[in-house]
Amino acid sequence: MSNKNNPFALPEMELVEKRLQEINSYDNPYLSEVTGYVLHQGGKRLRPLLVLLCSDIYGAALKTRVDVAVAAELIHSASLVHDDIVDNSSLRRGQLSTNKRWGNPSAVLVGDFLFARAYAILSSYPKILGIMTEAISSMCLGELRQMYCHFDPDTTPEDYIHTIVSKTASLITASCECGAIISPMPADEVRIISKFALHIGIAFQISDDISDYVLDADEAGKPQGNDIRNGIVTLPLMYLVANPGTRQRVQGLLNQKQPLEPKMLHQELEKTKAIQKSAAVACQHLDRGIELLGNFPARPSVMMLKELALQVKERCTALSQHANLAQQPCQPCQPSSPQFGPR
Angle of helix 170-181 relative to helix 46-56, nearest 10 degrees, comes to 30
The amino acid at residue 292 is L
Higher pLDDT, 15 or 25: 15
The pLDDT score that the predictor gives to residue 329 is 33
The pLDDT score that the predictor gives to residue 89 is 84
Predicted confidence (pLDDT) at residue 308 exceeds the cutoff of 80: yes
- Please write the tens of the pLDDT for every residue from 108-157: 999 999 999 999 999 999 999 999 999 999 999 999 998 888 999 999 88
Give me the numbers of helices (H) and strands (E) for the chain, helices first please: 17, 2
Predicted confidence (pLDDT) at residue 5 exceeds the cutoff of 80: no
In whole numbers, what is the pLDDT of the chain averaged over residues? 89
Q: Which residues pair with 92 in a beta bridge?
A: 95
Q: Which residues pair with 91 in a beta bridge?
A: 96
- Cα 44 to Cα 34: distance, rounded to the nearest angstrom: 20
Q: What percent of the chain has pLDDT over 90?
A: 68
- Cα 11 to Cα 176: distance, rounded to the nearest angstrom: 18
The pLDDT score that the predictor gives to residue 42 is 72
Nearest to 13 by CA among 53, 42, 40, 41: 53
- Please write the tens of the pLDDT for every residue from 23-69: 888 778 888 899 999 998 777 899 999 999 999 999 999 999 999 99
- Cα 110 to Cα 126: distance, rounded to the nearest angstrom: 24
Predicted model pTM: 0.90
Q: How many CB atoms lie within 10 A of CB 186?
A: 10
End-to-end CA gap in the chain: 31
- Cα 111 to Cα 303: distance, rounded to the nearest angstrom: 34
- Cα 64 to Cα 72: distance, rounded to the nearest angstrom: 12
